[in-house]
Amino acid sequence: MAAHLKKRVYEEFSKVVQQQPLEEVPAKKLRLTKPSKSAALHIDLCKATNPTDALQYLLSFARKPVEAESVEGVVRILLEHYYKEIDNSVRLKIASLLGLLSKTPGFSPDCIVDDVISTLNNDKSNQVLAQLLDTLLVIGTHLPENAAVTQRLIEVACKHLSSPYFGVRNKCLQLLGYLGTVDKPLTKESEASTSTAPLQDVQSLISDYFSDQDPRVRTASIKAMLQLHERGMKLQQTAYSQACKLLNDDYEQVRSAAVQMVWVLSQLYPESIVPIPSSNEEIRLIDDSFGKICHMVSDGSWVVRVQAAKLLGSMQQVSPHFLEQTLDKKLMSDLRRKRTAHERAKELYASGEFSSGRKWADDAPKEKVDTSGVNLIDSGACGAFVHGLEDEMYEVRIAAVEALCCLAQASPSFAEKCLDFLVDMFNDEIEEVRLQSIHALRQISTHITLREDQLDTVLAVLEDSSRDIREALHELLCYTNVSTKDCIQLALLELLKNLTKYPTDRNSVWKCLKFLGLRHPTLVLPIVPELLSTHPYFDTPEPDMDDPAYIAVLVLVFNAAKSCPTMPALFSDHTFRHYAYLRDSLSHLVPHLRLPGRKQAVVLGSELSGVGSGSLESAQQFLQDSLARVSTLQNLDSPGAQDLLDFTIRDLQRLGELQKELAGSADFCATYLRCQLLLMKALQEKLWNMAVPLCLKQNAMASTAAQQILEETYKLEYLYSGLETRQVATVHNVRLQAKALQLILTARTKRGVESVLALCEKFLQEVESFQRLFMTELPHFQDSFVEKLLELMPRLVSCKPLDLVKILLATLRQSRFIHLRLPEQIHRALATIIEPTGESDNPLRFTTGLVVALDIDATLEHVQDPQTTVKVQVLYPDGQSHIIHPKPGDFRTPGPGRVRLITQVYLSHSAWTEPCQIEVRLLLAYSSSSSKLATPKPAWNESTEGLPTSESCIEGTINLSKPVKVFIMPKPARR
């Protein structure tokens, strides 16, 4: 019925259209068999009596897309109307439509170039001319290969360059920027146009407009130059002096473009020599331009300031002499004395001609100033960063911090100098700036050693109420070098203070102390007795092992002891006991130590851990060996095969625990083998020979096995990163086996062919899709289930369901176990919920009907694209479950491969009589279409069930973390 209706609609519609063209348009349009855009447009335009109407039609026309094949026709009609039209605005709109249409994919705009150019020559209105040139620009950028068109367009641009209207000149310059070539000077131009422009190349032609009277044209000319540069043309150095002049332009957009231009030239010709005006000295161009851009950091417009500050960061070839000026406001005033402002914090300030404003009356001029030496303005780089970091707009400050960081990474001596300034930025009023400067300091911290007073300032930030700031600071302290033992003590003290003030920072503080200990063993050594409060004569009470502060101290000491063998001699007895405990419970924070006094107890352990911590190669070897052993299994039915698999799985699991680097690989293998084992068990039973009603129990067993294998295969595919196509294919093979098993079981238990038929069809589709996806991998699958299936495929497609099931069963039992080959590195995605801890006995009380926010803090490792895949699941005691999608902003990345999720989930429930526990866990959502081979998947929508929905796009979730229990108590609302 619907089809019929559609047909009728179509008939009617096409009839209408065929009539109209007969009346109005030339005969060739008659070919159009379906409703055409051009025809409709033409009718509309003919109907329009006045320009306003026509404009309206054109506007509504522009909203709809046009198919590539009808573009040409539309363009013709538009041009036809263009010639007739007197009104400027309508012509303008038509011109802009032409540009729009020539962008249509699949349409080659070279056929309309001539028309546009001829209209260009005839039109009088400047605005229309500008629009037409814009259209040509669009066409030109779509036909970069067509040299003839390019040449013509350049000629047109040159001809109109002398237009009195700024818009036309703008567009011409833009055209030249996009299309102009350096290698071919514009020879034809002199004969093609009567204008007075002599033989010139594009660059000098454009640079003539650097001094145009209109600022917009000046901007356009600089931008055109930059465009040339972007297209890979080498700009000439002569432009440098012109660009420098433009830095003083009255208009901010000109200055902004000029800053870029100067920067580009400084990157092109860093080493060439330029003279300093008003003296006969010469300096390198990069230094000169650096000074000039530094100057722009105190420009009147903040847009220019941001740009200048950003660009400074990338000028790394500048000489250190100039670089260091940026941090000193008055270096040029005292060629006698080079001193950063901060050094005065340590030394007594010897007064010069300028006072610091720190002491009263120190600003009376003490000597007649050497006027040639003092230079307040043209001192170039002087104090650029001091200004940038003090700027009113935080955008500028952030840009300056970033630039400082980039430059400091390249130059250790500069890093040393800028340290104080970055530390000062920790006091900024905007949190973003503080954070940025902490990150910057972390990045350059390899170059620097903090002094005590600097460390003091840094540590003061530990009291900041913002968690991000504190954690960034912990991260920074992990990489920091300090100079004295007092610094260590200070840092420890402040970190402990932090710990008591913000107990949630526990893990981060411990980790921080671990690195502090590792980096400074010799500095920790002298303060060990103090830290552990040991006394040479008296026994001191044993500290509480559960105290996070004490653990923090121990973490510091043990890590320092790792590279300092004399340290354990200072430990008291209980310290050794605590070591053993911590080594076990916080193994990621406490390293293995060789403790001399504890031989007997440790021998066994050390040997054991000797295997564990033994060389990575041996562990790898072991992994390969066990895999090889398993691969000898040809027949799944062979006796002892099951045992072998059992042992291997156990071995692999233990290996994964011992050797962190191989945990992913070992885990992957173990899971894979477990799948094989399950499959083997399900198939080996004698049940397949029995009558159906007699083996209900076995059937149930087999179907759970099949279900379990399916789940495991999804885990194998999506939980591990670093897999290659081959492993994915292997996993898919196992999945097919499991599905085949399911199919067989269904066929045996269900009555009726209908249901089985559908299942069979689905299964065959899957086999086909496997073939499609893993075509290249097929050679590796000899004798496997899949290969056999594919061989039998023609037969399978034609045969009846019951036959199919029989064949499947046979193949399944005959198929060989596939040897698993491991890729370089496999990581298992892992998540740990740090908070809530699940230890609290106090229920979270809230009124029913309202919501309560639960803070969740979790770390994720090796999760790809966490923003889209990680969900939070909340499971209520009544079985109700919610899946919550955290905001992308809640994911922070403190380091490579690590992601931190700090978010809030909202809970709500109807009233309970007793407090009860809910479970919170993280899930990894997957969908089969999101695998690396297929197209991007549609957005994940919240759903309460995690079951696969369709075979083409299987969506589901995998548990990513252990569940955490939270005690909640929704109270009934009080009336």
Interface residues with another protein (CB under 8 A) are: 162-164, 196, 211, 213, 250, 298, 300, 329-330, 333, 341-342, 344-345, 353-361, 363-365, 369, 371, 374-378, 383, 386, 389-394, 421, 424-425, 427-430, 457, 460, 463-465
**In the complex, minimum distance from the CB of residue 365 to another protein, in angstroms, rounded to a whole number:** 5
Residue pair 198/186 in contact by the 8 Å Cβ criterion: no
Cβ closest to another protein, residue 374 vs residue 875: 374
Q: Of 239, 225, 221, 245, whose CA–CA distance to 182 is shortest?
A: 225
Cβ closest to another protein, residue 424 vs residue 685: 424
Beta-strand relationship, 964-971 and 955-959:
unpaired
**In the complex, minimum distance from the CB of residue 163 to another protein, in angstroms, rounded to a whole number:** 7
Cβ closest to another protein, residue 363 vs residue 768: 363
Cβ closest to another protein, residue 56 vs residue 248: 248
**In the complex, minimum distance from the CB of residue 902 to another protein, in angstroms, rounded to a whole number:** 20
Which structure tokens are listed for 749?
């238990």
Q: Which long-range contacts (CB under 8 A, 24 or more apart) does 205-210 make?
A: 205/158, 205/161, 205/176, 205/180, 206/173, 206/176, 206/177, 206/180, 207/238, 207/239, 207/242, 209/161, 209/169, 209/173, 210/239, 210/242, 210/243, 210/245, 210/246
**In the complex, minimum distance from the CB of residue 529 to another protein, in angstroms, rounded to a whole number:** 28
> In whole angstroms, what is the distance from residue 141 CA to residue 150 CA?
9
The residues with which 927 forms a beta bridge, in sequence order, are 955
Residue pair 787/771 in contact by the 8 Å Cβ criterion: no
**In the complex, minimum distance from the CB of residue 775 to another protein, in angstroms, rounded to a whole number:** 57
Cβ closest to another protein, residue 353 vs residue 416: 353
Cβ closest to another protein, residue 457 vs residue 606: 457
**In the complex, minimum distance from the CB of residue 460 to another protein, in angstroms, rounded to a whole number:** 8
Residue pair 862/827 in contact by the 8 Å Cβ criterion: yes
**In the complex, minimum distance from the CB of residue 493 to another protein, in angstroms, rounded to a whole number:** 15
Cβ closest to another protein, residue 329 vs residue 732: 329
**In the complex, minimum distance from the CB of residue 157 to another protein, in angstroms, rounded to a whole number:** 16
The residues with which 274 forms a beta bridge, in sequence order, are 283
Query: 572 Cβ partners below 8 Å, 6+ apart?
Result: 532, 534, 539, 540
> In whole angstroms, what is the distance from residue 548 CA to residue 395 CA?
40
**In the complex, minimum distance from the CB of residue 25 to another protein, in angstroms, rounded to a whole number:** 41
Cβ closest to another protein, residue 354 vs residue 891: 354
> In whole angstroms, what is the distance from residue 96 CA to residue 59 CA?
11
**In the complex, minimum distance from the CB of residue 387 to another protein, in angstroms, rounded to a whole number:** 8
Cβ closest to another protein, residue 142 vs residue 305: 305
Cβ closest to another protein, residue 73 vs residue 388: 388
The residues with which 486 forms a beta bridge, in sequence order, are none
CA angle 662, 664, 670 (to 5 degrees): 100
Cβ closest to another protein, residue 400 vs residue 680: 400
> In whole angstroms, what is the distance from residue 437 CA to residue 441 CA?
6
The residues with which 855 forms a beta bridge, in sequence order, are 904
Beta-strand relationship, 827-828 and 964-971:
unpaired
> In whole angstroms, what is the distance from residue 575 CA to residue 581 CA?
10
CA dihedral 132, 133, 135, 141 (to 10 degrees): 170
The residues with which 861 forms a beta bridge, in sequence order, are 830, 898
**In the complex, minimum distance from the CB of residue 553 to another protein, in angstroms, rounded to a whole number:** 24
> In whole angstroms, what is the distance from residue 789 CA to residue 815 CA?
10
Cβ closest to another protein, residue 17 vs residue 374: 374
Residue pair 869/911 in contact by the 8 Å Cβ criterion: no
**In the complex, minimum distance from the CB of residue 621 to another protein, in angstroms, rounded to a whole number:** 55
Residue pair 526/485 in contact by the 8 Å Cβ criterion: yes
**In the complex, minimum distance from the CB of residue 724 to another protein, in angstroms, rounded to a whole number:** 50
Cβ closest to another protein, residue 163 vs residue 483: 163
CA 117 to chain centre: 45
- Burial letters for 133-154: b for 16+ Cβ neighbours within 10 Å, e otherwise? bbbbbbbbebbeebeebbbbbb
**In the complex, minimum distance from the CB of residue 366 to another protein, in angstroms, rounded to a whole number:** 10
Instruction: Give the three-state DSSP class for 439.
Output: helix
Neighbours of 753 (CB within 10 A): 13
Cβ closest to another protein, residue 262 vs residue 883: 262
Signed CA dihedral, 21, 26, 29, 33: sign only: positive
Hunting for tokens 């007197």 — which residue is that? 86
**In the complex, minimum distance from the CB of residue 424 to another protein, in angstroms, rounded to a whole number:** 4
> In whole angstroms, what is the distance from residue 826 CA to residue 722 CA?
5
**In the complex, minimum distance from the CB of residue 353 to another protein, in angstroms, rounded to a whole number:** 7
Cβ closest to another protein, residue 169 vs residue 788: 169
**In the complex, minimum distance from the CB of residue 74 to another protein, in angstroms, rounded to a whole number:** 36
Cβ closest to another protein, residue 348 vs residue 364: 364
Cβ closest to another protein, residue 430 vs residue 603: 430
- For 420, the enclosing helix (H) or strand (E) is helix 412-425
Hunting for tokens 């919501």 — which residue is that? 851
CA angle 547, 553, 555 (to 5 degrees): 100
Which structure tokens are listed for 901?
């999720």
CA 164 to chain centre: 48
Cβ closest to another protein, residue 211 vs residue 587: 211
**In the complex, minimum distance from the CB of residue 420 to another protein, in angstroms, rounded to a whole number:** 8
Residue pair 970/847 in contact by the 8 Å Cβ criterion: yes
